[in-house]
Structure 1
């Protein structure tokens, strides 16, 4: 009888010892992982399975790179380049499942109408380091990709849109996405106007920065085109601001008399013709206005102080509109001070 009890205990102990590795394996695979807070796994271009597994173990995302490698090879895992967000305490099974399913985390980056290089750089800084951005900004290869190989930089050669980016993308890949969108979506709209396509783009950028009202934009484009044909300086306030920024002064304030007088190839108060590049990303309505300007008698315009502009064919009428604008500003200041 005692012998049978000993045999039974021996069998139980043997079974426990046999099952212990299995239980340990199950816990290593399904148990809570070591991550204390949300984490990220980046599978970059060219990374091998071993590199990804070892990096996850070093970063405290998983406990065992070896176990992950065994699973990945058994499943013939094909790594999909991308950014993967991992929840706290995610199990090795959870992490492996995300990678197998290719659940890439994207960040939506909005590039709106009207912004220029310095604002664009700030919007992309999490994906394109600043020094790399400015190097790529002047890349002849990217300018060729946009469709304007003679452009000195990428100002204006970016399509306004919402871009889905992830942190495993290479900086050049991000910039390439932006200029390819321009080539496909914007460049075709530049054909058929009174100016060559790149000059149409420059004119559209001036229109974009002068007024956001679609009903006014063809009139503004018409005034500038008429001035170009007459050899008259455009005297576009936004170009004086762009000249300020190009000089390294990044104050985003209204133009000053110093800005207006600044000698610069971008400042259309001090040089004739269009600036050498666009001064912003024009939107669809500004592009259409530059392609089909409303050329009439008007040669001047000034803000009304009420959100729009007053147009005039002569300097005397323009001066009258300027006086009305100043009176409106004075009225608003009085109202603001009670």
Structure 2
């Protein structure tokens, strides 16, 4: 009888040992506890143990202990990033994402013509506003761009699509944009009529003045001619930039108060170029600023049909302004029947 009881216990122990791998596999493949999709952030300096405990507390995995055993067995190297954890993801699913470094990125587009406030709005989910404006005036980032004399990063970011995630540091995100400028834009600023930084500033004015690529060299030429003879540039987009720099973020057409605003950015109020670019210029605008089409024209005004009329004298310019106003009235009458 004793021998029979011993045999029974032995058989039970053997059966239990046989079940252990199966139970472990079941726990490994079992659906996870969390219901909605979640974001898992692996930040710089995160350890496997700390991450496992955090995931268990947040309800992303059922067993931190099992994750730690797996991570040690696989010698898991955590890759900093943002990971999307699907509903009911198993421990195996979560571990696989981390092992593959299956990082979730968000595409941020910085278009030609974007200025500081555009960039800030597009990055607000990744960089707190106060941090953004501090970094915007970072001398270190300006030096990286190639212009240590620049007082801000305005115009010093390359127009492109950037992949970012919430595990990145704010400075790291802006650094990538500045490095893209240094590598792709900076070399093209050499060899123009003006030094590189003034060329960039002039290009930004032309960029904001016209949406017609064929007009860029003529617009840049008018401003270059005015610079040559000491005439104020009277660039409408600089009066808007001065408005925004003063904290008035209305995005409407400039009014008389904007034209009169005392600001070193407002080229109606001060002579010469503004102290920084006023936006990200296109490659075509930079080429136009390097070789502006300088002739007799000193004025231009919109036609109301998408382009501009250029004139060498104020009298002719005023006639063009009259044509523009009549065109706008005609369009309003046609719109309202």
What is the SS of the residue equivalent to 1:84? Answer: strand
How many residues align? The count is: 337
User: Which residue is 2:289 aligned to?
Assistant: 290
Say whether residues 1:308 and 2:313 are aligned partners.
no
CA deviation profile, 1:234-263 (whole Å, cap 9, x unmatched): 000000000000110000000011101111
Distance in 1, matches of 2:317 and 2:150, equals 35
User: Which residue is 1:270 aligned to?
Assistant: 269
What is the SS of the residue equivalent to 2:310? Answer: strand
Root mean square deviation, CA, Å:
1.8
User: Which residue is 2:118 aligned to?
Assistant: 119
Which runs of 5 or more residues in structure 1 are unaligned?
none
User: Which residue is 1:106 aligned to?
Assistant: 105
Distance in 2, matches of 1:4 and 1:54, equals 46
User: Which residue is 1:190 aligned to?
Assistant: 189
CA deviation profile, 1:193-227 (whole Å, cap 9, x unmatched): 11111000000110010012110000000000000
Distance in 2, matches of 1:117 and 1:167, equals 21
Distance in 1, matches of 2:6 and 2:73, equals 39
What is the SS of the residue equivalent to 1:215? Answer: helix
> Which segment drifts farther, 15-24 or 100-109?
15-24
Distance in 2, matches of 1:290 and 1:12, equals 88
Distance in 2, matches of 1:14 and 1:277, equals 79
Q: For residues 59-138 of structure 1, what are the structure 2 equivalents within 5 Å? A: 59-138=58-137
Distance in 2, matches of 1:58 and 1:282, equals 48
User: Which residue is 2:32 aligned to?
Assistant: 33
| Structure 1 consecutive aligned stretches of length 4 or more whose deviation exceeds 2 Å | 2-24
What is the SS of the residue equivalent to 1:282? Answer: coil
> Which segment drifts farther, 205-214 or 14-23?
14-23
Distance in 2, matches of 1:206 and 1:258, equals 20
What is the SS of the residue equivalent to 2:182? Answer: helix
C-alpha displacement at 1:80, in angstroms? 1.2
- TM-score, normalised to structure 2, is 0.96
C-alpha displacement at 1:22, in angstroms? 2.8
CA deviation profile, 1:11-57 (whole Å, cap 9, x unmatched): 76445433443333112111101121111211111211112212211
What is the SS of the residue equivalent to 1:216? Answer: helix
What is the SS of the residue equivalent to 1:72? Answer: helix
- TM-score, normalised to structure 1, is 0.96
What is the SS of the residue equivalent to 2:22? Answer: helix
User: Which residue is 1:325 aligned to?
Assistant: 324
Say whether residues 1:246 and 2:218 are aligned partners.
no
Say whether residues 1:53 and 2:52 are aligned partners.
yes
> Which segment drifts farther, 238-247 or 49-58?
49-58
Distance in 1, matches of 2:96 and 2:9, equals 40
